[in-house]
Amino acid sequence: MKKYSFILKDLDCADCANKIQNKLSENENYKNVVVNFNTLKLSFESELNDVKPDIVKTISELEPEVEVLDIDEKVKEGKNYNLIRLIVGIIVMVLALVVPMPGYLNLIFTILAYVILLYRTAKNAIKLLKKKTIDENFLITVSCIGAYFINKQSEGLMVIFLYEIGKLLEEKAINNTRKSIANLMDIKPEYANLKHENHEHKVKPEEVNIGDIIVVKQGEKIPLDGIVTFGNASLNTASLTGESVLREVKENDSVISGSINEKGLIEIKVTEKYENSTVRKILDLVENATDKKAKTETFVNKASRIYTPIVIVLAILVGIFSPILFKIPFEEGIYRALIFLVVSCPCAIVISVPLSYFTGIGKASKNGILIKGSNYLDSLKNINQIVFDKTGTLTKGEFGVEKIETYSNKYTEEQILEYSALGEANSNHPIGMAILKKYGKTVNKENIKDFEEVSGKGITYKVENKTIKIGNSDFVETKKENEIGTVIYVKVNEEVAGYLVLNDILKPESKEVIKKLKSLKILTKMFTGDNKEIGTKIGKELELDEVRTDMLPQDKYNELEKLINPNSKGKVAFVGDGINDSPVLAISDVGISMGGIGASSAIEASDVVIMTDDLNKIETAIEISKRTNKIIKQNLLFALIIKVLVLILSTFGVSEMWEAVFADVGVTLITIFNTLRILK
């Protein structure tokens, strides 16, 4: 199966996108068809080689104005002929309605105004009618022509005039929303400075190979993942992580694509081709995220298929029975039925729901949170249990000196730390590096004599005529202290002077995050492979609701499976580092991984990726989910209330076509603008 992608230029209707997707899905040659209205992207799989001609033919039959472009083809902004047609139509309409003229001339100008203003809508309606399909184009066309034949020509003209203006404004609002999201995710590098011997030249990032050296100057984006081989720089990773603090990098440091070099000049040895780079993965995730639809979105899409036929039947009933029930002229009954058709256009509902999810995902991306689908964004608001892994999630995944104790007044804590640091001066072991980090001074190795390391036990050396032994209790021949963590004892000559306790360091924000999650009525739990003492200690310190210890990966999987209830509205999330927790992340309702500046394993393993190791982003993701859901409900409620209100009023003859146009186009515009509040 080959994967194909195309851009659908001028696709300005979410319902139209659904029609194209449904029609192409009926063709057995095309599998996994997705039309993403938010990104104007059509993607599918097929065994056929030359698919574009058939795709163009199918789409042109459904949506004549939509142009099918190759994925890399730039969308050219041509003349807006619809705007020109609208301006001409308005001039002719004003002449027909305002300027005094003989009856036959007035008739000619009125018909001409109808033809010009109704041209696009009627053409689309006729083409779709031939395919036994009806949509809002049909509803508006019937309403306007019907108004003409019941001597409501001026209202018919005003309906199509306002509808056309509304469509233009709607298209502009949607395009502005797309641009807003695109600006949030403006991380794609346009070129790379490829170094070749003593000179460099600009090439596309796709042309650079693994092992090549690229140069990144001040103000430029890093185009590909790699390792710094020369220079140092201050990198802005805000578009990737949501963090404004610059990241300092030097020789041998890893860097990821999409970062901006704010200061300095560096040379980078490329470690990943562009298609596998962090920036490409992030862009793919964001662009394709709304392909995985939430239940609300799926329901709206399904409902919209049967909505229009039902509306037409109801309008016919209004036209037939309102003259009988209300004892009004037959023409008035037809007029009320036509108003019913205009009001019932489903644009506001069909557009606002997917656009809200798309905007919410874009907002999360700006905050360094990658959400892989509308369904996961929707699920975040329903989380009622979060299970955390310990190492690398609640903790930093690195040792730290937690405590220093002395056995007598002869030695200070500083001396115990210094003796330990002298012994670990040449160590690359995590424990040794933690001690040296705590010491924080340059170690003078010249005074160290007779250094010896006893594997698995400790080290011994001489300094200033003192014999120092550092290691476990057996090595220094002393009783074992009842401490939780790794205990390192220090013996000076024949006397045990004191000890250090090392533990995996809690992230500074862990306690506050757990507190915030509890305030949201979310149960917090921890599954860890560590022993009971360490797990219980961390659980008490963080005030977790439940702690499970001594767990193998299979144990975590089995226990999480017990917590998940497919029939429950409440969702269970698992938060891990994305490396060893793939099975548990996969089975959870929402798998959240700590991406740490773009770890590939994290991006691939989970449903939500926190691009930094900041646990606060979990609450941010939940808040964005709730805000998006709130705005979706506002849009749906507002659209339905206005439409139902105008429908009722029109049935009783209170509202006219002016209100009907507002209930369609006006409501659509308001819901689009309301959706933009998600970005604030």
What are the catalytic residues? 389
Q: Residue 323, class by beta-carbon neighbours within 10 Å (0-12 exposed, 13-18 middle, 19+ buried)?
A: middle
Say if CB 187 and CB 233 are below 8 A apart.
no
Q: What is the CA radius of gyration of the chain?
A: 33
CA distance 534 to 463: 35
**Cα distances (angstroms) measured from residue 216 to each of 140, 219, 230, 384, 622:** 56, 8, 11, 45, 36
CA dihedral 402, 408, 414, 418 (to 10 degrees): -90
Residue at 666: amino acid letter: G
Instruction: Please state whether 397 falls in left (phi above 0), alpha (psi between -120 and 50) or beta.
Output: left
Among 435, 414, 416, smallest CA distance to 424 is for 435
CA distance 220 to 205: 13
Residue 245: both structure tokens together: 């603090």
**Cα distances (angstroms) measured from residue 49 to each of 2, 52, 497, 648:** 8, 9, 77, 54
Q: Are strands 383-388 and 523-527 parallel, antiparallel or unpaired?
A: parallel
Q: What are phi and psi of 27, to 5 degrees?
A: -80, 120
**Cα distances (angstroms) measured from residue 103 to each of 97, 107, 606:** 12, 6, 71
| Half-sphere exposure of residue 588: CA atoms within 13 angstroms, side-chain side | 34
CA distance 661 to 162: 7
Question: CB neighbours of 317 closer than 8 A, spacing ≥ 6?
Answer: none
How far out from the chain centre does Cα 661 lie?
A: 34
Q: Which long-range contacts (CB under 8 A, 24 or more apart) does 579-587 make?
A: 579/392, 579/605, 580/553, 581/389, 581/553, 581/556, 581/605, 583/553, 583/556, 583/557, 584/387, 584/389, 584/527, 584/553, 584/556, 584/557, 584/560, 587/557, 587/560, 587/561
Q: What are phi and psi of 572, to 5 degrees?
A: -110, 125
CA dihedral 438, 442, 448, 454 (to 10 degrees): 40
**Cα distances (angstroms) measured from residue 449 to each of 421, 462, 496, 621:** 14, 5, 20, 55
CA distance 234 to 168: 44
Q: What are phi and psi of 659, to 5 degrees?
A: -65, -35
Work out the angle between the directed axes of helices 136-149 and 330-343 (0-180°, nearest 10). Answer: 160
Collapsing DSSP to helix, strand or coil, 249 comes out as: strand
Q: What are phi and psi of 417, to 5 degrees?
A: -65, -40
Say if CB 650 and CB 340 are below 8 A apart.
yes
Question: CB neighbours of 493 closer than 8 A, spacing ≥ 6?
Answer: 466, 467
Among 168, 290, 273, 190, smallest CA distance to 225 is for 273
CA distance 70 to 76: 13
